[in-house]
Amino acid sequence: MNPIIDHLRNHRSFRKYQTDKTIPKAQLDSIIRSAQSAPSWINGQQYSIIAIQNPERKAKIAELCGNQPYIAESSVFLVFVADFYRTHLASEQHQGSHSAVQNVDALLVGATDVGLACENAIIAAESFDLGVVCIGGIRRNMAEVIDFLKLPKHVFPVVGLCIGYPDVEMPIKPRFPKEAVYFEETYQTDVADLMADYDETIIPFSAREGGISWTARVSKFYDKDYYPSIAETLKQQGFLMKDV
């Protein structure tokens, strides 16, 4: 073990924050610059980060994300967007077509770039003893969020990140055993027993979800199209025209 490994394995999600404390500007700047140090495909840096600190605006975006109060309570809410606006400008400058953003691969590129940058921001925030939680609900009302953030065409929100001073201590939620997610040479499908064991392990840590197993919770999530309006919104933003 070393301090970086210890830091990474100590990650927890915090959903209750001290509302009377503000993150110093220097720390927020370090968090953003750390996010910028993440790798990206072709060094395209196909993401941007929008910080929301105004209380009224935090309350509004909390509503748009499905009425999640911890967004409003956090010191800052960062919205990570997949951003091909700059690549659009570059294409215009060099008489390119920019047609590749209409391919599904562009969504993978943008989401991957966002994920890497967001993880760097998480690690940096935690180094200042701040608490974080990722918010997938930023995609719940994607069209309204795009309007709220004044996102131009070729840009769409992928994930939000609450950052603040934790108001409660949280346990470290156990993960799958390594054997369920790490394979050598080829994929291994014989993971049912490992999943069953994990179901029993995770129940005491799932009070917020009603004390249910991992398989029951995930099955419920994937039993329907969770955010059905996303595809149409992405088309309006200039994506998915070729493949969907």
Q: What is the mean pLDDT of each run of 10 residues along the chain (244 residues)?
A: 92 96 97 98 98 98 97 98 98 95 94 98 98 98 98 98 96 96 98 97 90 94 89 93 60
Q: In whole angstroms, how far apart are CA 233 and each of 24, 82, 87, 108?
A: 36, 14, 20, 16
Q: Say what the pLDDT of residue 106 is.
A: 95
H-helix segments, the chain: 3-9, 25-36, 55-64, 69-73, 85-93, 104-127, 142-149, 178-181, 192-202, 214-221, 230-236
Q: What is the spatial distance between Cα 104 and Cα 100, in angstroms, rounded to a whole number?
A: 9
CB atoms within 10 A of CB 193: 10
Q: Say what the pLDDT of residue 242 is.
A: 67
Q: Say what the pLDDT of residue 85 is.
A: 98
Secondary structure tally for the chain: helices H, strands E: 11, 4
Q: Say what the pLDDT of residue 119 is.
A: 98
Task: Kindly report the pTM of this predicted structure.
Answer: 0.96
